[in-house]
Structure 1
Amino acid sequence: MAVIGKILRNRRATAAELAWGRANLGAGDVFEVTSTDFAHEARLDIRHTMRRVGGQDLSPALAWSGLPAGYAGLLVVVEDQDAPFGGPFVHALALIEPGISELATGALGSGTDAEGVRLLRSSWGRGYMGPGPIRGHGPHRYVFQVFALAEPVALPGGRALDAATPHKVLDAARACGRGRIDGFYERS
């Protein structure tokens, strides 16, 4: 499979295609997002990767501070900026109730019922799916984004959020602040 990774080495999504680059999610101040499981721009531990590559599919712990006053909730988006697809691969998408200031390790997992966390559809299933880039494709940037919402997310026509694709949810969300922490993972 390393041959496929080398063939696709120059095919990657771009930073501009991340949720972070969307105009409707770019408003407000930037706040701090941290993790006790990895430092900003550091390598993600194997336990946070897919089971298929030897990991445990455990979402890293996340914490945030300095949120704007009066926010309506949070939207957590985990994307692979370097996926060799038509855009970033969404590894997790979740709504977090106001007042929650951190998520424990594993809180975004599909089998987890963390209080105040509503898991939505990602690019593949529901709940956190850890990194598992193509062997030989090079390092992948995983962007853990937290958006403070100006209002609750509502889809046009009252459609259900739980069945919506990530792009529909991201199109409908309006941020009044945002923060992020990035990690890397590579399979050689």
Structure 2
Amino acid sequence: MAVIGKMLKNRRAGETGLAWNSPNLADGDTLTLTSPDFENEETLPTVHAAKRIGGKDLSPALNWSPAPESTGQLLLVVEDPDAPTAAPFVHCVALLDPSVTGLAQGALGAENPADGVSLLRSGMGRGYHGPAPIKGHGPHRYVFQLFALAEPVTAASSGAALDSAKPRDVLAAAGGVLARGRLDGFYERP
């Protein structure tokens, strides 16, 4: 499999396709997004990687500065812009009640999400899916993005119900960003 990674070494989706760079999500004040599990621009611990490569698919704990009082909903998106795909691979999409002020480790698990967390479809099912880059493809960036929205997202841009909508359709329907924060971690397959 390392041969495939080396063959695709220069193929990456790129940062421009991240939710962070979508015109409808590009405004707002700054939220400080942190994790006690890893520092910004540092390596994610293996426990947060996918089970199929030796991790536990355990979402990292996240903390953020208070969202504006008028926040109607929080939108959390985790993407990999280094995936050898046309767009960044979506590892998690979640809508959070504005009263949620942080997430414990594992709070984005599909089987038992934390209170106030609604998990939507990602690139492969629901809930958090940890890093699993192709062997030999090099380090991948995992971008945790949190958006404080003025109004809750109630339907996807395609008109589909949120429960069955594709991640890009949910992101396209979001807007009215009051504040946003970003935390980047790296993972390279050993």
Q: Given the two structures, how large is their TM-score scaled by the length of structure 1?
A: 0.97
2:74 aligned with 1:74, yes or no? yes
Distance 2:142 2:29 in 1: 22
Counterparts of 1:28-177 in structure 2, within 5 Å, are 28-155=28-155, 159-174=160-175, 175-177=177-179
Q: Supply the AA of the counterpart residue of 2:84.
A: P
Q: Give the 3 Å change call, closer, same or farther, for CA 2–113 of structure 1 in structure 2.
A: same
Q: Hey, what does 1:8 align to over in structure 2? A: 8
In the alignment, is the contact (CA less than 8 A) between 1:154 and 1:173 conserved in 2? no
Distance 1:113 1:154 in 2: 20
Distance 2:74 2:166 in 1: 18
Between the aligned residues of both structures, percent identity stands at 59
1:75-108 Cα offsets, whole Å, 9 max, x none, are 0000011000011000000000011110000000
Q: Secondary structure at the match of 2:3?
A: helix
Q: Supply the AA of the counterpart residue of 2:105.
A: T
Q: Supply the AA of the counterpart residue of 1:184.
A: F
Distance 2:97 2:75 in 1: 9
* Deviant stretches of 4+, over 3 Å: 156-159
In the alignment, is the contact (CA less than 8 A) between 1:95 and 1:118 conserved in 2? yes
1:58-84 Cα offsets, whole Å, 9 max, x none, are 000001104223010100000011000
Distance 2:146 2:109 in 1: 17
Q: Secondary structure at the match of 2:121?
A: coil
RMSD, aligned CA: 1.2
Q: Hey, what does 1:182 align to over in structure 2? A: 184
1:12-69 Cα offsets, whole Å, 9 max, x none, are 0111110000011111112100001111011000000000000000000001104223
Distance 2:98 2:57 in 1: 26
Question: How many residue pairs end up in the alignment?
Answer: 188
1:95-131 Cα offsets, whole Å, 9 max, x none, are 0001111000000011113100000000100000000
Q: Supply the AA of the counterpart residue of 1:145.
A: Q
**Unpaired segments of 5 or more residues in structure 2?**
none
Distance 1:106 1:9 in 2: 31
Q: Secondary structure at the match of 2:180?
A: strand
* C-alpha deviation, 1:157, in angstroms: 7.9
Q: Supply the AA of the counterpart residue of 2:73.
A: G
Q: Secondary structure at the match of 1:111?
A: coil
Q: Secondary structure at the match of 1:74?
A: strand
Q: Give the 3 Å change call, closer, same or farther, for CA 113–31 of structure 1 in structure 2.
A: closer
Q: Supply the AA of the counterpart residue of 2:144.
A: F
**Unpaired segments of 5 or more residues in structure 1?**
none
